[in-house]
Amino acid sequence: MKIKIENLIAGLREIPDRDFTCDNVYQFLGENPVDIDSISNYFFWSKNFYTRNLLYKDDRFELMAICWNKGQVSKIHNHADQKCWMMVVGGKLHGQNFAVEDIDESRNFCKLKETDMFDLSDCLAAKVELEEPIHQILNLPEFDEPAVSLHIYSKPFDTCLSYCRDTDSFKKVNLCYTSIRGKLCDGITL
């Protein structure tokens, strides 16, 4: 049985700090699939980019719904040494993990190699391993439909590293929300 987003947030808030671990939150998400109808009022869509829609945030974690049109992909990125979990509540997404083959931080040089990949759909939960945190999320054109994923980040962060395999480089980028609790953020054009 799928639960409403309010119940998921309440359940996450009830997990004690010492138990807010990668495995425990992953298990909690796996046991509590979310009803997409309980979050659809928070969705914003763009044909130009995937949207980051904040549903909840406190000092310990933030929860957002990310809306992906067909063919949209994230940049290759990390999560600033924070924990991350995700669940696809509509459509299907593909994930690709990467490992660092060679790095020279003084030149912003980083050569990556592909490691494991995964597909997510039907409220299947996933977690980003802290040992191999660099990844990319893709709504592949062959999936032929939009997708919505829920992402939990602990602790919240507003910058991360973005990687380019064409130039074997990386840079720090600022992150922003498309919407906050159902209200489009100032300056956002869909």
Question: Where are the chain's structural domains?
Answer: 5-179
Overall average pLDDT of the 45-61 stretch: 97
pTM of the model: 0.94
Distance from C-alpha of 157 to C-alpha of 73, rounded to nearest angstrom: 20
DSSP three-state, residue 150: strand
Kindly indicate the confidence band of residue 124, based on its pLDDT and cuts at 50, 70 and 90. confident
Distance from C-alpha of 123 to C-alpha of 184, rounded to nearest angstrom: 26
Among 36-40, 85-89, 125-129, name the one with the lowest average pLDDT.
125-129
CA dihedral of 77, 79, 85, 90, whole degrees rounded to 10: -40
Task: Determine the CATH number of domain 5-179.
Answer: 2.60.120.10
Return the percentage of the chain with pLDDT > 90, whole number.
91
Please determine, for residue 87, whether its predicted confidence score (pLDDT) is greater than 80.
yes
Distance from C-alpha of 25 to C-alpha of 27, rounded to nearest angstrom: 5
β-strand pairing of 109-121 with 183-184: unpaired
Please determine, for residue 107, whether its predicted confidence score (pLDDT) is greater than 90.
yes
Overall average pLDDT of the 132-144 stretch: 94
- What does the pLDDT read at residue 161? 94
- What does the pLDDT read at residue 64? 97
- What does the pLDDT read at residue 82? 86
- What does the pLDDT read at residue 130? 65
Q: What is the 3-state secondary structure (H, E, C) of 162-188?
A: EEECCCCEEEEEECCCCEECCEECCCC
